[in-house]
A and B are shown apart, each in its own frame.
Chain A
Amino acid sequence: MTAAAELRPAPQAPRRVRRLRAAIAACVLALATTCAPVPLGDGPRRQTVRALTEQVVLPTLGDVAARAAELAAAAGALAGAPSQQALDATQEAWRVARGPWKECDAFAFGPAMDERLAVAIDQFPVEPAKIESEIAGTAALTVDYIDTIGADRKGFHALEHLLFGAGDDLAVLALLTTDAAAPRRRELLVALAQNLERKARELGSAWAPGGGAYAELLATPSAANPTYTTVKAAIDAFVNESVFLAELVADTRIGKPLGLSAGGTPQPALEESGPSDNSLADMAASLRGLRAVYTGARGADGASGSGAGIGALVAAQSPATDREVRDLIEQAIAAIEAIPRPFRAAIVDRPAEVQAAYDAVKELKRILATEVLAALGATLKFNDNDGD
C-alpha cells in the first residue's frame, strides 16, 4: 500500500450502521464477559484457595484419618486385652484424634455436610441410653452395622461414653471386663472405633484428588464448576465457616455451659466433651483450625505452611484489620488455654476466666463478620438469595 493510499480516508459506513456495529460489539463483549467459559485467571484469591486445600485441608484430613486408625488399633488392643495401660493408650489416642478433627471445624463444608460425615463422626450430644441399648441388644456389632444406626449413638462421643463415661477408669475397666455385658461392650468399642476410622477415611477421600476430588472442585472455580462458579464462592465458603465457627465456640461451647443464656446458671451438661475433660482442648483445636485457614499455616504454633491464607488477602485490603484478626485469634486461643481444667468446674468456680475466653472469641467473631467480610467482599451466604 502506498503512502497516498494510507492517507486517503477509508470509505465510511453509514452512521446508523456504525452505531449498530458499536452496539453489537459492546453486547458481544458483555456477553463474553458474562457467559464465556474462559479459564479463570490465576490471581491471588485462586492461589489462596489452592494453597488452603493443599496445605491445610488435605494434610489435616490426612492427620484425622491417621489418628483415627491409631484410635481403632488402640481400641482393638483394649478389647483384646483390657488393662489400665491399654485403656490409657486408647483414651490418649481418642484425645489425640480429637485435635486434627476439631481443626476440621474450620472447613466443615462440602462432603462433611453433604455426605453427613460430620454428624457420623462427631454428633453432640449422643444418647448414652441408646448406646447402652445397643450393648443390651442382639444385633451383631460390626462396623457395617454402625453405619446403619443413628448419629446419636456413634462417633467420637459414643466412644467417649465407653472410654470415659463410667466416672473413673476402674469403673470403665470393670464394664469392659467383669460386667455381664462386657463382651458386647468390647465389640461395640471396636466397631465404633473402626467405623470412625472408616468415616474419617471417607471424608479424606471425598476431598482427595484420587477420590471425590472436592479440593480440586474448590480450587478450580469456573462457569462449568457445578459448585463453585467463581473464586469468590470458594473464598466465601472458607470465610463463612470461620464466622460460623467463632460463633459456635463463643455461644455454644463456652457461653451455654457458662450459663449466659440461662440467666447466669452454669449448665455443665452442655459441655461438649465433659466425660473426657477434653472440652478446652477441643475449643483450642477448633480455633487453631480457624487460624490455619486465616494464616495458611497449620500446627500447634501455627508455623507450618505457606502462609497463603485468607489473612494475606485481608492484609492486601486492610492491613490494620489483618493485624487485629491475627491478634484476636491468638488472644482467643490463649484465653481458652488459660481456663483451668476441668471446664465443668471452671464454669462454676472460675467464671471470670471463662467469661474472658467468651469475650475474646466473640470479639474475633465480630471482626470476622464485619471487617473481614468487607475486606474480602465476601458474602455471608445462608441461602442463594438475590440482592440489589
Chain B
Amino acid sequence: MAKVIERREMSTVEQAYLVEAAKGLYGTAKHLVRGFFKHETLPTVSYPEQIIPIPQDYRAHHRLMKRPDGEARCVACYMCSTACPARCITIEAEEAKDGHIEKKAKKFEIDLLVCVFCGLCEEACPVDAIRMDTKKVSVVADSRDQFVRNMENLLDWNPADYPADDTQSQKAPGGRLNDQARTEWAGGTGH
C-alpha cells in the first residue's frame, strides 16, 4: 500500500518566509563554521594522496591465473565468453601439447571499454582461470587499441600482491606455494 503523505498548510510565520530563511542561513552557517574549525570532519578524501582501501572482492581489472609452470590456466572452454553479457571476451583455442589438458587459449582478449565488470566470467569459469581481484580501478591508455587487454597483459601480475592465504595465487611462479604445486604438477595426472 502506498504511503499517504499528509500535506499541511504553511503557518503565517512560515509564509512570511523571512524567519524560515533565517533558519536556513543559520543551518548553512553551522556547516561553514564546523568545516572551518574542524576541517578533518569533512567527508572529502584527497584522492591521489589518500586512497580508500579497496575490498578484496571488488570487481576490478581482470587477470588470468597461472599454472605452476607459468602457463595460463585457461582451457579455452569459451564458458566465460558465452556468459559475458557485453561480449567483450575474444578467445582463440589451440591444442595443448603438454598432456595435462586438451585445449589451451592461443589468444585471450578482453576489451575493457566494452566490459561491464559484472563478474559473470569469473563465475562461469570451471577452472578458476579468470579473476577480477586485481583492485586496479584506474586504467589509462592513449588509444582504444590499448584498452584491449591481451593474454600477456592479463598474465602480468605478481603473487606478492595477493594475500598469503589466497592459495590459488600463491601456486603461481614466484608464489609462496609454487614449489609444492610444481611437485604435484610433475607427478600428478592433470586435474
A-B complex is real: no
- Contact surface of A with B, Cβ cutoff 8 Å: none
